[in-house]
Amino acid sequence: MSSSEKIKKTIKQKYGQIAVQSSGCCGSDSTCCSPDSTAYSVFNDEYSHLPGYVADADLNLGCGLPTQHAGIRDGDTVVDLGSGAGNDVFVARQLVGEKGRIIGIDMTPEMIALAEQNNQKLGYKNIEFRLGEIENLPIENFTTDVVVSNCVLNLVPDKQRAFNEIFRILKPGAHFCISDVVLSGILPEALKNSAQAYAGCIAGALQEEDYITTIKKAGFSRVEIKQKKIIVLPDSLLAQYLPEKEIEAYRNAGSGIFSLTVIGYK
């Protein structure tokens, strides 16, 4: 099994577990979840004030509010990459209205099942969830007005291929708006090499300048950072991967983990 396949297997296992637990846990109240949940929810932004918000679909897995900056309009076709339980899908549905269309893509069968269950309760007919990988999207060329994604691209092993795929499915002149995790400086090796940290959005992140370069290499122009915030990892999380002395060294090294919300046009 290649390193890429191992990473994907780890991510499927971790997020599949979260989807299963979320039936009575890991929603807006994450206190009943496993200790691993801190690795995910530390990045999360508050969603409950957004029109279209569905509490059952919010698993505290995001790191921004991409739909707020995406310029989604009535009647748009929107694709959400790594759609999970449907959190951003349902918010985007409020923006596209009855004439629009939302397609959620996720590679975890348990997440697809949970999202479909949530949608059945709401009765939306213009929402569809598809099982698939971001590096090989099950979407036709030139069919999408807006691509959104929330704290998912950093988990994809081949990020260049992922952005190439986003470029492929967008209509000419269309755009993406993605919230993601990037780095400034170097992570400690123990943290960087942890598969669990990878699934928790830490070790899969690129340096900020490399992330922007990857977007531009895919062909996008007018690339703009709409929001940037530093993410402070709690000692309780770092202690899962680093001894106390290394935590102190990490704090003093000036390295940083940031959430970016970035937009780019085809």
Rounded average pLDDT over 22-32: 42
Distance in angstroms (rounded) separating the CA atoms of residues 240 and 263: 34
Domain extent at residue 166: 3-265
Separation CA 55–CA 23 (nearest Å): 12
- Give how many domains the chain has, as a whole number: 1
The residue-averaged pLDDT of 36-49 equals 64
The helix/strand/coil state of 64 is coil
pLDDT score recorded for residue 200: 61
Q: What is the pLDDT of residue 36?
A: 46
CATH number at 186 reads 3.40.50.150
Q: Is the pLDDT of residue 61 over 50?
A: yes
Given this model, what pLDDT does residue 35 score?
38
Q: Which two tokens stand for residue 214?
A: 């990857």
Q: How far is CA 256 from CA 43, 184, 259, in A?
A: 13, 5, 10
Residue length of the chain: 266
pTM: 0.88
Report the relative pairing of strands 221-231 and 256-265 from DSSP bridges. antiparallel
More confident residue, 240 or 220: 220
- Lowest average pLDDT, out of 33-47, 160-174, 185-199, goes to 33-47
Could you identify the residue written with the tokens 């993406």? 176
Please provide residue 229's backbone torsions phi and psi, each rounded to the nearest 5 degrees. -145, 145
More confident residue, 198 or 192: 192
Q: Distance (Å, rounded) from C-alpha 216 to C-alpha 94?
A: 30
For 22-36, 88-102, 210-224, which range has the lowest pLDDT when averaged over its residues?
22-36
| DSSP run (H or E) holding 66 | helix 66-69
| Of 228 and 10, more confident | 228
Q: Decide: residue 183, CB within 10 A, 0-12 exposed, 13-18 middle, 19+ buried.
A: buried
**Mean pLDDT, to the nearest integer, of 2-26?**
75
pLDDT for the residue numbered 246: 86
In a 10 Å sphere around its CB, with 0-12 CB exposed, 13-18 middle and 19+ buried, how is residue 29 labelled? Answer: exposed
Apex CA 201: angle with CA 211 and CA 12, to 5°? 115
Residues 119, 52: Cα–Cα separation, whole Å: 12
